[in-house]
Structure 1
């Protein structure tokens, strides 16, 4: 009798377990991107596409791609207003990298889907190299609304041009030290941006296992750096318990003259 009663109880528990939904929410894969939007003032004038229009068109495609977090560079105030007026995004802008006419300024920013993420904190890295102007790099700590997972994101735009190679190298070192610091405090860290370099950036940030590249790039076993494979200057790197999949370079943004850069994106997965 006891055996039959125990068997009946076990069967009831098993049946109830099959009907009971999972309580724990699995950590989702999140698609993160980097996009140099091409500043608003750069396409003023006859025959050009207004920067607000470019931003609205870009935003439509970004939303269609179901992106969750996007690091932005060269974002000017009129373009920032387009994002804020969209209603689906939260935006954090760093201090001006360049002050333009009136209240308009350009610089780095990060936006995220407001239904998916809550901002826990936001701050900036103010980077000065020698007597050059200070660059301002936004950093946000986000918490997922479903599972509570947290991720830190930093968006950067390093100087362009062969004459600024030393400045870029110095900026990379500052950024690397900040990533090391963030990695000590947070499990998931993302670095996205326009590095204005290809192999130099890939090699620098992945050497010694500091970060993973969303492209799949990694140094050779002997520590030397192979060619990057991907020829662009826009990158996504991750530190901590993060994996990547689905790297994509969307050149629609260039082809339709919304920007002079593609949008690069990848899924990152919590480990």
Structure 2
């Protein structure tokens, strides 16, 4: 698919918008809301919150749609978590947590500001061009109602754009031959992803799994002896992003160059504010 936008404009816009969506998964408010439902394990809470739009699914469905999680971790919590709280109850808890989180990070004035309403309107307009086929997480979220409050409408739209790009990203990873943990290891080697400690802790892999994946990547000439990306590895990771870009052009072409530029500007401002307010752990990113 061709695009009339400047190179990587859609990717830059997505990255800025996605930052605000991601705040929920590092928020104590999600733990509190899920805990009130009886879901007290942090992994279970986050798995339930993201998969709830799909319904009372099991580990197999989530392994397929989340991609880089260890099935053993998923099977410890799914489908058992739905015996504690229904997907509908988890969706309500998720939205309450997003409400509390964004109000805390931005303050009431910004959360209800004209700029927030504008960002929500632009992101929702972009999402009008998202497609459902072969996009299970996007399609499930697209069935949910748009919240009325500007900050929640923006968070909902960010979720749609995130999952639309993410569903396409899985196609790119499969096409270019990176299995779930190889995708994680190679992404971390770029220095622009979560650190190994955070990936291992949240995705359920063991250090031995990580090292075995790194060895496979070295055998393919994608990592060097120090765990850094080789020239071929760097090219492969860029190929992954470029394929993902091609599969995710529709929303941003629909919004148009001026709309994408404005949404990126607004989203970056909100992302910087969220990070400054402590939305993410200080050691989240990096190779160590």
Higher strand share: 1
TM-score, normalized by length of structure 2? Answer: 0.27
